Amino acid sequence: MRDHEISQRQACQLVGVDPKTVRRRRPPDCPEIREEMKEIAGKRRRFGYRWIGTLLERKGMLMNHKKLYQLYREQGLSVK
C-alpha cells in the first residue's frame, strides 16, 4: 500500500475486510543463521543461546533475543 495513495484502513474498507485481520508477512528464516548456530553449538557445547547470540552478532548476524531463543529450541540445541 506504500505504492498507492490509499491507507491500509481505507483499502480494507474498500475490499470489505476487517483491518484487524490483515497481518504483515513474516520475513523468511535465514538458513545461514541456523547452520551457523549448529556449527557454534557443535564446537562450543557449553555455550547457551545468549553466548551463541553474541558470537553471531560478532559475525554480523543480528536478531532479537526472542527469535534467537526460538531458533535455539527448534534446532534442539542445549547446554551439555
pLDDT category at 21 given cuts 50, 70, 90 is: confident
pLDDT tens across 38-67, in order?
Answer: 999 999 888 899 999 999 999 999 889 999
As a whole-number percent, the residues of the chain with pLDDT over 90 amount to: 41
Q: Is the pLDDT of residue 20 over 90?
A: no
Distances (CA, A) of 72 to 2, 3, 47, 75: 35, 37, 11, 5
Q: Is residue 33 over pLDDT 80?
A: yes
Q: In this predicted model, which residue has the larger pLDDT, 23 or 58? A: 58
Contact by Cβ (8 Å): 40, 52:
yes
Give every CB contact of residue 22 below 8 A, 6+ residues apart in sequence: 8, 12
Contact 55, 78 (CB under 8 A): no
